Amino acid sequence: MDHSNRNLAFHPKSIVPGPSSPCRIEEILDVLRIGRRFLVCSHARPDGDAIGSMLAMGMLLEQLGKQADLVSADPVPVIHRALPGAEAIRCAQQVSGSYDAAILLECDGLERTRLKGLDRFFMINIDHHVTGTEYANINWIDRSAASVGELVYRLAKAAQMQITPQIATCLYTTLLTDTGGFCYGGTQASTFGLAQDLVLAGADPKRIAQKLYFSTPASKLLLLGRALRHLQHEGQLAWLWVTRREMEESHAHEEDCEGIVTFALCVSGVEAAFFLFELPDGRVQISLRSKGRIDVAEIAGQLGGGGHQSAAGCPMEGPLERACEQILSLLRPRVAEVAGGAAK
Ligand SMILES: [Mn+2]
């Protein structure tokens, strides 16, 4: 994709390629300081990192005296609706209007937003996926960050902005959800340093954890029951699924599928797991997880998706049985490699 013709009048130097992190932060801050109106977006089917980062970015822009419009292709999941400012996120399929820049958070490709019209704007891409691509005018991709919220925090600190309790709550949510409660690969010493900063800034860890882990809708538990009946276990692999019909019978929504894959991964001795559910258009959505020795982002990449080494996903062509066989044919050799390596 060629972005070189875009109107960069207000910030001509930003298309010059440069090294990452500190320079990127300064480049982004320059754009934020000069512009007045910003669009803030993330990926479709937003998760905790997507929503928390968008809200924190919106509040930080307000602090700078800027106007920020928050737009998502899909609604805010019920579990995140109590986050400060969540009601400001507008649902749309197309973006229009005039903005000095569009800030895209947590999108490894522009198509992940499922929003039309974004490529008219000067784009800033802030991401941490291993599959991240440089599709924007400024690309800040830090694969070592536990969440995109961590990058938003670093941006805020660099600009000496105030981390209010509301911002801290949103950013702590990105950290807790993207590390699976400080369990996944992205979790490192600095993650706890950031968590401490955010708690000191006013995030309430107990309240946030209770909202996330002890506020499950009954529909999700019913759906989980259906999925567990399909649980398959083969050596270091486990998988489960739900059909469209089972989703309807459980009165479940797509967002209720979030996290079900974990119940396959938590089987003792399992190294990689996946969960499948049927989409209304006949395709199948897949979530892949790994305990760290199998790179599931690479598997998802082969299927046109992306993510992280230990958490990835993508939609696939149906029917469900065929999608399942296709994933197994990619995963089985990887699992055999890991098992072979362990035996040596
Ligand atoms: Mn993330």
CB 27 within 8 A of CB 16: no
Q: What is the maximum span of the chain, computed from C-alpha positions, in angstroms?
A: 60
Instruction: Give the residue among 231, 184, 234, 232 at the shortest CA–CA distance from 339.
Output: 234
Tokens of 191: 């993650």
User: What is d(CA 20, CA 131) in angstroms, rounded to the nearest whole number?
Assistant: 16
CB 176 within 8 A of CB 48: yes
CB 291 within 8 A of CB 264: no
pLDDT at 100 over 80: yes
- The string of pLDDT tens digits covering residues 201-235 is 999 999 999 999 998 989 999 999 999 999 999 99
Q: What pTM does this model have?
A: 0.86
> How far apart are the CA of 177 and the centre of ligand 1, in A?
8
> How far apart are the CA of 340 and the centre of ligand 1, in A?
32
The SS3 call for residue 240 is strand
Cα 129–Cα 325–Cα 236 angle in degrees, nearest 5: 70
342 pLDDT band, cuts 50/70/90, is: low
Alpha-helical runs (H) found in 17-162: 22-34, 48-63, 148-158
Distance of CA 20 to the CA centre of its chain: 21
% of the chain beyond a pLDDT of 90 = 86
> How far apart are the CA of 343 and the centre of ligand 1, in A?
34
Would you kindly state where each structural domain of the chain is located, as residue ranges? 12-213, 218-343
Which one of 3.90.1640.10, 1.10.101.10, 3.40.50.620, 3.30.2010.10 gives the CATH number of domain 12-213?
Answer: 3.90.1640.10
Query: What is the fold, at CATH topology level, of the domain defined by 218-343?
Result: Diaminopimelate Epimerase; Chain A, domain 1 (3.10.310)
Determine the pLDDT at residue 21.
67
> How far apart are the CA of 248 and the centre of ligand 1, in A?
29
65 pLDDT band, cuts 50/70/90, is: very high
- The string of pLDDT tens digits covering residues 68-92 is 999 999 999 999 999 999 999 999 9
Count the residues in the chain. Answer: 344
CATH topology match: 12-213 vs 218-343 = no
193: region left, alpha or beta (phi > 0 left; psi from -120 to 50 alpha)? alpha
> How far apart are the CA of 68 and the centre of ligand 1, in A?
21
User: What is d(CA 129, CA 329) in angstroms, rounded to the nearest whole number?
Assistant: 24
> How far apart are the CA of 107 and the centre of ligand 1, in A?
9
> How far apart are the CA of 49 and the centre of ligand 1, in A?
5
The SS3 call for residue 328 is helix
